[in-house]
Amino acid sequence: MAARTYPISLLFFVVLLHAARFGESESFIGVNYGQVADNLPPPPATAKLLQSTSIQKVRLYGSDPALIKSLANTGIGIVIGAANGDIPALANDPNFAKSWVSTNVVPFYPDSKIILITVGNEVMTSNDQNLMSQLLPAMQNVQNALNAVSLGDKIKVSTVHSMGVLKTSEPPSTGSFHPSLSDLLKGLLGFNNGTGSPFAINPYPYFAYRSDPRPETLAFCLFQPNAGRFDSNTKIKYMNMFDAQVDAVHSALNSMGFKNVEIVVAETGWPYKGDSNEVAPSVENAKAYNGNLIAHLRSMVGTPLMPGKSVDTYLFALYDEDLKPGPASERAFGLFKTDLSMNYDVGLSKSSQTPATPKTPVSPSPKPKKGGLWCVPKSGVSDSQLQANLDYACGHGIDCGPIQPGGPCFEPNTVASHAAYAMNLFYQNSDRNPWNCDFSQTATLSSDNPSYKNCIYPSGSS
């Protein structure tokens, strides 16, 4: 990436915009609230918990009136769902759709900020041809019912898909839908496009790793330093599975002529425990995936094919659901326990979002300290690998403010320069263990101080 220069006024605007974005909210971070459980906290307690976090949206699989009411006047966006079983009635009886909206939307809006209604969940991969053919008429009738109460331009209507609607997803540029679904999907996408509603999908790198449990696949799925995967069509090297899956969906939409339909990640997550024969679930993996995903979203980098904007993403899930069938991992996706404590910390709490300011040398002199050691990239490392190192380091609690616009280390504005600063700071903040200056064998320790001008690289003695 070539260095770029910006007018002072533009830099000031970018800094203000950055501050305003994070000061107000992180509207791209949502969470799923599943209710297949018998031990969930009272709805007011859940509303209070959500308000203590940076989560700005919550997705319900139904339309629990107690929870919707508890979220009134919180500013939290609410996605409500019509069940698969309601689709035939919604499709065939406009009055049923009007009644559904009158019961589940009108009494609560606008105090409760309902933003989206999802009609059905993963219907297109259900193999129920009757349900699949009735999905679009059901969505149209819900939209018409919203229009009838003057809410059609305020609340969107869509449905949620599994990644199974794609026939091809690797490499991402070849993403395409199953031909057998194309006619039905064209109708649904025409509806999305015409109403401005999103294409909602459930990408799970967890399932990709479970079917391919190699160490390099795990690092790719967890946003950790890895060799990356090269898309020869676009000449893009993907450094994480999430971006690859989302871009595959983008390519599939583009191939059908709907590249402007917004993508929303309706579910994604990683279980923190499982049965003894399950290789993927662990607290370490769940914390890495969700924590690094949140850091990636906060970076506003976007994906290679959709840069500069974070996709709205609903983490799965707020709580464990103890009545879910299947392996133990199905009951262990929760970010929080039902006693409202964390299962593990991924930096969502408003009280824990500001990382500690790293210690820096008192003297601004760029001259080497005796015995000082700095973690620096090896020569010849690709920009894509350096970007992965940068994402990893900044996603693990270090203060990357100095390499943001207006910071003392922002210039030169290159991936190499920014990665070098972040990699060193990560090493210094990790007790200066040599293995924390490895980055998949792309970094080394040096006694040459890389500090320059007012950009000071912290150091430690050997």
* Catalytically annotated residues: 122, 267
Cis peptide leading into 327, omega within 30 of 0? Answer: no
The C-alpha atoms of residue 122 and residue 202 are separated, in whole angstroms, by 9
Please give the C-alpha separations between residue 309 and each of 114, 264, 299, 399, 460, in angstroms, as whole numbers.
Answer: 23, 12, 9, 21, 37
**Angle formed at CA 158 by CA 154 and CA 161, multiple of 5 degrees:** 150
Q: How many CB atoms lie within 10 A of CB 408?
A: 15
DSSP letter at 316 equals S
211 neighbors 225 (Cβ within 8 angstroms)? no
97 neighbors 141 (Cβ within 8 angstroms)? yes
**Angle formed at CA 63 by CA 311 and CA 189, multiple of 5 degrees:** 45
257-261: long-range pairs with CB below 8 Å, 24+: 258/189, 258/190, 258/192, 258/193, 258/199, 260/193, 261/189, 261/192, 261/193, 261/198, 261/199
Task: Give me the helices (H) in 316-414, please.
Answer: 383-394
Q: At what angle do helices 383-394 and 283-299 cross, to 10 degrees?
A: 110
The C-alpha atoms of residue 255 and residue 238 are separated, in whole angstroms, by 20
Q: How many CB atoms lie within 10 A of CB 364?
A: 12
Please give the C-alpha separations between residue 358 and each of 387, 397, 429, 451, in angstroms, as whole numbers.
Answer: 21, 10, 7, 15
Please give the C-alpha separations between residue 320 and each of 34, 43, 66, 68, 262, in angstroms, as whole numbers.
Answer: 8, 15, 19, 20, 29
Q: Which regions of 140-226 does DSSP assign to beta strands (E)?
A: 156-162, 166-168, 176-177, 199-202
The C-alpha atoms of residue 235 and residue 233 are separated, in whole angstroms, by 6
Q: How many CB atoms lie within 10 A of CB 356?
A: 9
The C-alpha atoms of residue 265 and residue 29 are separated, in whole angstroms, by 10
β 114-121/77-82 pair status = parallel
- What would the two tokens of residue 163 be? 């990644």
Helix (H) or strand (E) holding 374: strand 372-377
